[in-house]
Amino acid sequence: MAKRKTKYVCQECGYESPKWMGKCPGCNNWNTFVEEMEASNTGKRHTFNVGLKSAGKPEKITAIESQKEPRVTTSMKEFNRVLGGGVVPGSLVLIGGDPGIGKSTLLLQISSQLADKELPVLYISGEESTRQTKLRADRLGVKADLLYVLSETNLFDIAKQIEEVQPSFVVIDSIQTIFREEVSSAPGSVSQVRECTSELMKIAKTNGIPIFIVGHVTKEGAIAGPRLLEHMVDAVLYFEGERHHTFRILRSVKNRFGSTHEMGIFEMKEEGLREVMNPSEIFLEERSQGASGSTVVASMEGTRPVLVEIQALISPSSFGNPRRMATGIDNNRVPLLMAVLEKRVGLMLQNQDAYIKVAGGVKLDEPAIDLALAISIASSFRDQPTRPDDIFIGEVGLTGEIRRVSRIEQRVQEAAKLGFKRVICPKRNLDGWTIPKNIEVIGVQTVQEALDEGLAR
């Protein structure tokens, strides 16, 4: 009998090696190699003929008719926005998040809403029995007749059930529990995840069935398994939020059919997730009035402007090296802006500890928040509060200049809608649009001008 060959596969990037290594040459991570059996060429291999269509012939791109992708909308407008307007037929969507954050709850509610539109949905759970899924459905009030539930982990059996039920939508919860019999490695390994996702993608594309896949995350917050899992799917959504808080954020980091930076806000209640239509009010409702170090910025999350509070605490350092800590923004941005304030404005911040926080648990990464962050630092250092009805928008350059930002009109309209009276923004952003009547827009060119306008005297 022929001896089965083994190989070692990195569980982070999929790098293969004939022998075990402590450090992966592909991704430079330690202790990620796992022994797996090589697949035999003579072994039986299942093929999934789930109504597969015959291969087409190449066509000239000029002869192909352009048409808009039809989308199926759910009752959750926030979910539709994150996907770019609704669910695209034949799409493969990956949803990741921490354990217990609400991924299964969200997908069960979405499945119920789609089934209520006379569209059959097959919900496949590899982690729970059908009775456990039924208990969650009773708690959420799910009573759709066209919602089918299956507890299965074998991909061959799953494909057979898809062929029999002929659903319009499929949910896989989760991809780390699904396995193929021909692959000898354990479920959740690189080989299993790659093979299973490849077959699910084939089923989705050839039959026009949208498939939602739940993916576990690592302790660093990334999708568990190889990075190629994110490359294979059409959209990658992250479900974020603190488990002990009620608000959840659904963020799009990849989307072939829409914006890649959309964000949807949900509130977790006893009867399930409820969408938050105006997140700016939620992020600003607990803001302290008259406190130094607090500013508000209008940040763009995809196509939606969101008003968020930035808080800064500057205090004298008792150590040789001052501390620079930030939550919700890039840590490297804080010392950069403090260096600009010290060099261009004259604030002696080299012996000061700096603690920065974005209220509400939002993560901001666009350059337009630079000005609000710099004003917060200066406000806390001078112990001078800003006016409570001011908004700060702008990118700060290393020479102290305030550079223009995109979509200034939408940002100002959102600020005016929530009752703010003044917007301090780059001077070059004042042309080419109409300023709302109930708000004042002040253009500045340098950080010094912004400080003179923004800090209350």
Question: What span, in angstroms and rounded, lies between the C-alpha atoms of 329 and 312?
Answer: 12
* CATH code where residue 219 lies: 3.40.50.300
Q: Which of 8-12, 235-239, 441-445 has the lowest mean pLDDT?
A: 8-12
Task: Find out whether 103 is annotated in a ligand binding site.
Answer: yes
Residue 67 has pLDDT above 50, yes or no: yes
Residue 222 has what pLDDT? 60
pLDDT number for residue 425: 95
- In this model, does residue 290 exceed pLDDT 90? no
Q: What is the pLDDT of residue 280?
A: 87
Residue 406 has pLDDT above 80, yes or no: yes
Confidence of residue 295 (pLDDT cuts 50, 70, 90): very high
Residue 71 lies in a domain: no
Which neighbouring-strand residues pair with 446? 401
Instruction: Please give the residue range of the domain that contains residue 27.
Output: 6-37
**15, 220, 292 from 351: Cα distances, Å:** 46, 32, 19
Q: What is the CATH number of the domain that holds 397?
A: 3.30.230.10
Q: Do the annotations mark residue 97 as ligand-binding? A: yes
Identify whether the C-beta of residue 296 lies closer than 8 Å to the C-beta of residue 379: no
My answer on whether 400 and 367 are in the same domain is yes
Which conformational region is residue 284 in: left (phi greater than 0), alpha (psi within -120 to 50 degrees), or beta? Answer: alpha
Q: What is the pLDDT of residue 361?
A: 77
CB-CB contact of 237 with 128 (8 Å): no
Q: Does one domain contain both 302 and 434?
A: yes
Which of 213, 232, 253 shows the shortest CA–CA distance to 82? 253
Residue 402 and residue 357 share a domain: yes
Q: If pLDDT is split at 50, 70 and 90, which confidence band does 446 have?
A: very high
Q: What is the pLDDT of residue 246?
A: 80
Q: How many beta carbons lie within 10 A of that of residue 221, not counting itself? A: 11
Does residue 61 belong to any structural domain of this protein?
A: no
Please indicate, yes or no, whether residues 271 and 298 belong to a single structural domain of this protein. no
C-alpha distances out from residue 26 to 6, 49, 57, 231, Å: 19, 35, 37, 17
Identify the CA nearest to 178 among candidates 203, 151, 204, 201: 151
Query: Which pair of tokens denotes residue 7?
Result: 């190989």
- Do residues 265 and 357 share a domain? no
**pLDDT value at residue 174:** 85
Last residue of a domain, one of 242, 277, 312: 277
Mean pLDDT in residue range 131-160: 93
Choose the most confident range, by mean pLDDT, from 10-14, 95-99, 331-335.
Answer: 331-335
Q: Is residue 384 part of a domain?
A: yes
Average pLDDT value for residue range 108-123:
94
Q: What is the pLDDT of residue 52?
A: 46
Q: Is residue 72 domain-resident? A: no
Instruction: For residue 99, tell me if it sits in a domain.
Output: yes
Residues 220 and 246 in one domain: yes
Instruction: Report the pLDDT averaged over residues 129-154.
Output: 93
Q: Name the residue type at position 405.
A: V
d(CA 276, CA 284): 14
Shared domain check, 290 and 264: no
Q: Are residues 386 and 372 in the same domain?
A: yes
207 and 152 both lie in a single domain: yes
Q: 175 is written with which tokens?
A: 């991809």
Number of domains in the chain: 3
Summarised one tens digit per residue, pLDDT across range 186-221 is 888 878 888 899 999 999 999 999 999 998 776 555
Q: Are 95 and 213 in the same domain?
A: yes
Question: What letter does residue 74 receive in the DSSP assignment?
Answer: -
In the chain, the percentage of residues whose pLDDT exceeds 70 is 91
Mean pLDDT value across the chain: 87
pLDDT band at residue 416 under the 50/70/90 scheme: very high
Between CA 418 and CA 452 the distance in angstroms is 24
The domain boundary residue, chosen from 229, 256, 277? 277
Q: How far apart (Å, rounded) are the C-alpha atoms in residues 195 and 47?
A: 12
Q: Identify the domain boundary among 277, 304, 323.
A: 277
211/199 Cα distance (integer angstroms): 12
DSSP type of residue 344? I
Whether residues 10 and 84 share a domain: the answer is no
Q: Is 198 annotated as a binding residue?
A: no
Q: What is the pLDDT of residue 1?
A: 47
Q: Note whether residue 42 is domain-resident.
A: no
> Is residue 108 within a helix (H) or strand (E), and if so which, with residue range?
helix 103-115
pLDDT, tens only, 367-391? 999 999 999 999 999 999 999 999 9
Q: Does 211 lie in the same domain as 320?
A: no
pLDDT at position 139 over 50:
yes
Question: Which of 29-38, 209-218, 304-313, 430-439 comes out lowest in average pLDDT?
Answer: 29-38
CB 169: neighbour CB atoms within 10 A?
23
In this structure, is residue 51 part of a structural domain?
no
Least confident of 12-26, 51-65, 154-168: 51-65
**pLDDT score of 310:** 95
Contacts of 235 (CB under 8 A, 6+ apart): 83, 91, 92, 93, 94, 252, 254, 255, 256, 257, 258
pTM for the full predicted model? 0.78
Query: What are the DSSP calls for 253-291, one per residue?
Result: EEETTS-SS-EEEEEEETTEEEE-S-HHHHHHTTPPTT-
Q: Please name which of 311, 316, 287 lies closest in space to residue 375, comparing C-alpha atoms.
A: 311
Q: Please, how many CA atoms are within 13 Å of residue 232, restricted to the half-sphere of its CB?
A: 21
Residue 50: its pLDDT value, please?
A: 53
Q: Phi-psi bin for 290: left (phi > 0), alpha (psi -120 to 50), beta?
A: left
**What pLDDT does residue 187 have?**
86
Long-range own/partner contacts, residues 375-378 (CB < 8 A, 24 or more apart): 375/295, 375/450, 375/451, 375/454, 375/455, 376/293, 376/294, 376/295, 376/310, 376/311, 376/312, 377/293, 377/312, 377/314, 377/334, 377/337, 377/338, 377/341, 377/349, 378/341, 378/345, 378/347, 378/451, 378/455
pLDDT at 272 over 80: yes
Task: Please list, in sequence order, all residues whose beta carbon lies within 8 angstroms of the beta carbon of residue 65, skipping any fewer than 6 positions away.
Answer: none
Establish whether 100 is an annotated binding residue. Answer: yes
User: What pLDDT score was predicted for residue 428?
Assistant: 93
Identify whether 449 is part of a domain: yes
Task: Tell me what the mean pLDDT of segment 239-252 comes to.
Answer: 81
Residue 14 annotated as binding site: no
